[in-house]
A = this chain, B = another copy of it.
Amino acid sequence: MSELTSYHMTPAEFRRYGRAMVDWIADYMEQVESYPVLSQVEPGQILASLPASPPMQGEPVEAMLKDVETLIMPGITHWQSPNFFAFFPANNSGPAILAEMLSAGLGVQGMLWATSPACTEVETVMMDWVAELLDLPDKFRSSGPGGGVIQDSASSATLCAILAARERATNFQINERGLNNKLVAYASSQAHSSIEKGIKIAGIGRENLRLIEVDDHFALRPDRLVEQIEQDRRAGLTPFFLVANVGSTSAGAVDPLPEIGRICREQGLWLHVDAAMYGTAAVCPEFRSIHDGLDWADSYAFNPHKWMFTNFDCNCFYVADRQALINTLSIMPEYLRNAATTAGAVFDYRDWQIPLGRRFRSLKLWFVIRHYGVEGLRYHIRRHVELAQQFAEWVAASDTFELSTEPTLNLICFHHIGGDAINQAIMDQLNAGGEMYLSHTKLNGRLVLRLCVGQTHTEFQHVERAWQRIQAAATEV
């Protein structure tokens, strides 16, 4: 609590506490390696340590900072640790945090162009910068009929793509009249769970999502896709949508976009390309082959909040035909009407997403890209890939471990040759030890370990020690 007469924190107080918070974050950056990576608390432990009721009287910020240390930190899994190799990275960086501070300080609502033109126009420019950064097809630039928008997550991007595809396929009749229950969507058996979730949300129904068989590299088989589409058409159904993986969650598989794209075009399917983590790799020209065939896509998404030093949330979602998206999601109530919108002179990004409100998230991309420069981003992405490939070489040369699939970019799937129980035990022991954190998946029914290199400060020694620890754990269990 501050001045008794106002309760508000004064600018002078904010200056003092803001500096304390900046110092706390800087200290955390310096010390993050000293914490157990995976939180070791029991369910309910943090909850029980907090008061059951809100305080009647305000408390000093010092009390909150102290509680962060003593009550919160034990319950943190340290995603920013260089020894975090689980799931996917969610890396942040100094410039991204500065931009998030700025966004919170400005506190603008970007729902309409008019409610803060800079929020909309910086976003438009940043989406075009990123399209250039990744060398995406021109059709995704805002200068033509397409364009990009920041979403909170790949899940939301996928959902938006499904919805736009649904309406395109039915001449907007589902928005108007509700579903006819004849639409069918496609993805590989390795597609992310968000696709099933989106298909359910959109009212398509899980049984109308076909999970197509994959090849030995866990990539979608175009021959099987064609067979399934033909079978569905014979059954009187309407194929309308396909999600292709560029970097599947489990194994980093890249679906064959050129073949799939041609099929989607012939069959009139909306092709959405989900490159959630791997998309970032295209910052480096030598990795851009992952996007071969992207010209066929109707929409594309990747997450700078995974592997591009930009803290969550920041998904970049591109469409080739923005009008299909806007027509699907736009509603204009009287209280939002304004001259710029009516004139059609501006983008109102509320019509490109599920929620109405939006933060000034493009500041993060602006700060991150300007801080690192294209050159700096390339340097680190290359380095992460190198480190992952080095790890893969060690695994390949090992007598007790083997690669579960061809290593691609920064994600390595591998397993101990002794079977599922041993792999589970190795993972459990490593994660419980707190010195590193890795996760698992199943490939062809076998439990395999996933080591993903992408945290901001992960260096050679962290990956080397990870391999040593994995070997030591294998010896012990």
On whether the beta carbons of A450 and B335 are closer than 8 Å, the reply is yes
A250 touches B (CB below 8 Å): yes
Q: Is the interface of A mostly helix, strand, loop or mixed?
A: helix
Q: For the complex, is A121 an interface residue (Cβ under 8 Å from B)?
A: yes
Chain A interface size band reads 35 or more
**Across the interface, do B59 and A370 meet the contact criterion of CB distance under 8 Å?**
yes
Interface residue? A422 (CB, 8 A): no
Q: How far is the CA of A64 from the CA of B365 in the complex (A)?
A: 12
Complex-state Cα separation, A122 to B54, whole angstroms: 12
Among A7, A80, A133, find the residue whose CB has the most chain B CB atoms closer than 10 A.
Answer: A7
B193 touches A43 (CB 8 A): no
A197 pairs with B107, CB closer than 8 A: no
A53, B76: Cα distance in complex, Å: 38
Taking the complex as formed, is A217 at the interface, i.e. its CB lies under 8 A from any CB of chain B? no
Contact assessment for A24 and B102 in the assembled complex, using a CB-CB cutoff below 8 Å: yes
User: Counting CB contacts under 8 A, is A156 at the interface?
Assistant: yes
A129 at the B interface (CB under 8 A): yes
* Bound: A92/B441 CA distance, A: 41
Tell whether A55 pairs with B1 under 8 Å between CB atoms, given A104-B101, A115-B87, A125-B47.
Answer: no
Asked if B331 contacts A193 (CB within 8 A), the reply is yes
Rounded to whole angstroms, the CA-CA distance of A118 and B355 in the bound complex is 26
A177 touches B205 (CB 8 A): yes
With a CB–CB cut-off of 8 A, which chain B residues contact A14?
22, 25-26, 29, 94, 97-98
Q: Are A204 and B178 in contact (CB under 8 A)?
A: yes
Bound CA–CA A45/B250 (angstroms): 44
Q: A7-B376, A77-B115, A118-B76 are in contact. Are A194 and B356 (CB under 8 A)?
A: yes
Q: 14 new A-B pairs (CB below 8 Å) besides A58-B372, A313-B357?
A: A1-B372, A7-B376, A14-B26, A22-B101, A43-B340, A52-B128, A87-B335, A107-B311, A153-B357, A177-B206, A193-B333, A202-B203, A313-B355, A337-B440
Fill in one digit per residue for A111-129: 1 if any B CB lies within 8 Å of its CB, else 0.
0011111110110110011
Whether the pair A334, B442 counts as a contact (CB closer than 8 A) is yes
Inter-chain contact B312/A359, CB cutoff 8 Å: yes
Chain B residues, Cβ within 8 Å of A118: 39, 41, 46, 71-76
Among the listed stretches A179-187, A219-227, A266-274, A390-398, which one makes contact with chain B, having 4 or more residues with CB under 8 Å of it? A179-187
A54 to B201, CA, bound (A): 37
> Is A9 in the interface zone, CB < 8 Å from B?
yes
Return A411 CB to nearest CB of chain B, in Å: 11
Complex CA gap A116/B177 in Å reads: 42
When the two chains form their complex, are residues B193 and A356 in contact, meaning their CB atoms are under 8 A apart?
A: yes
Chain B residue nearest to A177 (CB atoms) is B205
Cross-chain contact B201 with A201 (CB below 8 angstroms): yes
The reply on A262 being an interface residue by CB < 8 A is: no
Contact of A206 among B43, B64, B75, B176 (CB under 8 A): B176
A200 interface residue per 8 A CB criterion = yes
Q: Which residues of A163-207 are within 8 A (CB) of B?
A: 163, 166, 174-181, 183, 192-194, 196-197, 200-207
CA distance A394 to B117 in the complex (A): 33
Least CB distance from A263 to B in Å reads 23
Q: Report the minimal beta-carbon distance from A331 to chain B, rounded to whole angstroms.
A: 4
Decide: A24 near B355, CB < 8 A? Known: A93-B8, A203-B174, A205-B176. no
Q: Which residues of B contact A27 (CB under 8 A)?
A: 11
Q: Kindly state the separation between the CA atoms of A116 and B80 in the bound complex, as whole angstroms.
A: 12
Whether B331 and A207, one on each chain, are in contact in the complex, defined by CB atoms closer than 8 angstroms, is no
How far, in whole Å, are A38 and B456 apart by their CA atoms in the complex?
39
Least CB separation from A95: chain B residue: B9
Q: How far is the CA of A39 from the CA of B121 in the complex (A)?
A: 13
Interface 1/0 per residue, A35-77 and B, CB below 8 Å: 0001101011111001011111111010110001001111111
